């Protein structure tokens, strides 16, 4: 019997083979982050009530993906099929495609509408020492540059470009002890372009 998947959905199961290395994400009460193996895929090129939604991403059975799922939906979208727990995801819940059993940045490709950013701290050009109880805002020295862009991102972003994301919507992660963040394209509010 073959599994048929509705448009816009990807079915994943928990990865049986252990991966070398780890993607570290802080625990989040609202969202569950998992690595899974794609089992089956519905039509992703045109789905929704009028066939208006689509993705440039392509997934095949056997692909490894990092996905996010709201905690309250995890139990509602997971089913036992032939003794294996399978989760029916919306394709937009896939954060990244992993191309190797070894988790390293070269095998990690951000997906869909997500953008992978590298934060950095710059030294202030001049230093003003303020007392701890000062009312003035302290200068912000954290900057974000683009590392990878998902295939469905509509903004013209390129690697190394400085962007201005909503810091509250940026999700921290660590790969190979490198501190990174990923954010949905809608939460990038601006970018610096070359002159």
- Name the DSSP class of 92: G
Q: Tell me if 3 is assigned to some domain.
A: no
- What is the Cα–Cα distance from 78 to 82, expressed in whole angstroms? 13
Q: Give tens-digit pLDDT for 14-51.
A: 877 777 887 888 777 778 888 999 999 999 998 888 88
pLDDT above 70 (res 126): no
| Paired strand residues for 102 | 20
Listing DSSP states for 61-81 in one string gives: TT-EEEEEEEHHHHTTTEEEE
163: in domain: yes
Residue 56 pLDDT grade (very low, low, confident, very high; cuts 50, 70, 90): very high
- Residue 1 in any domain: the answer is no
Q: How far is CA 30 from the centre of its chain?
A: 15
User: Within a domain: residue 59?
Assistant: yes
- Residue range(s) defining the domain that contains residue 13: 9-191
Any domain includes 67: yes
Q: How many domains does the chain have?
A: 1
Tokens for 37, please give them: 């193996």
Q: Is the pTM of this model over 0.95?
A: no
Structural domain contains residue 2:
no
Q: Report pLDDT digits (tens) over 157-181.
A: 999 999 999 999 999 999 988 999 9
Asked, for residue 39, whether it belongs to a domain, the answer is yes
Tell me whether residue 145 is in a domain: yes
């Amino acid at each position: 019997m073959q599994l048929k998947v509705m448009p816009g959905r990807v079915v994943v199961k928990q990865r049986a083979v252990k991966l070398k290395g780890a993607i570290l994400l802080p625990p989040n009460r609202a969202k569950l982050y998992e690595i899974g193996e794609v089992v089956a895929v519905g039509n992703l090129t045109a789905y929704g009530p009028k066939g208006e939604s689509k993705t440039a991403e392509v997934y095949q059975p056997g692909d490894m993906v990092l996905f996010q799922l709201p905690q309250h939906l995890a139990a509602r979208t997971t089913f036992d099929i032939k003794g294996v727990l399978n989760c029916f995801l919306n394709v937009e819940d896939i954060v990244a495609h992993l191309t190797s059993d070894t988790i390293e940045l070269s095998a990690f490709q951000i997906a869909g509408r997500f953008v992978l950013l590298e934060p950095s701290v710059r030294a202030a050009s001049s230093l003003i020492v303020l007392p701890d109880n000062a009312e003035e805002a302290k200068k912000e020295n954290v900057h974000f540059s683009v590392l990878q862009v998902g295939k469905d991102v509509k903004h013209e972003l390129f690697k190394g470009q400085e962007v201005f994301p909503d810091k509250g919507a940026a999700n921290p992660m660590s790969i190979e002890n490198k501190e990174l963040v990923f954010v949905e394209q809608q939460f990038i509010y601006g970018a610096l372009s070359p002159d």
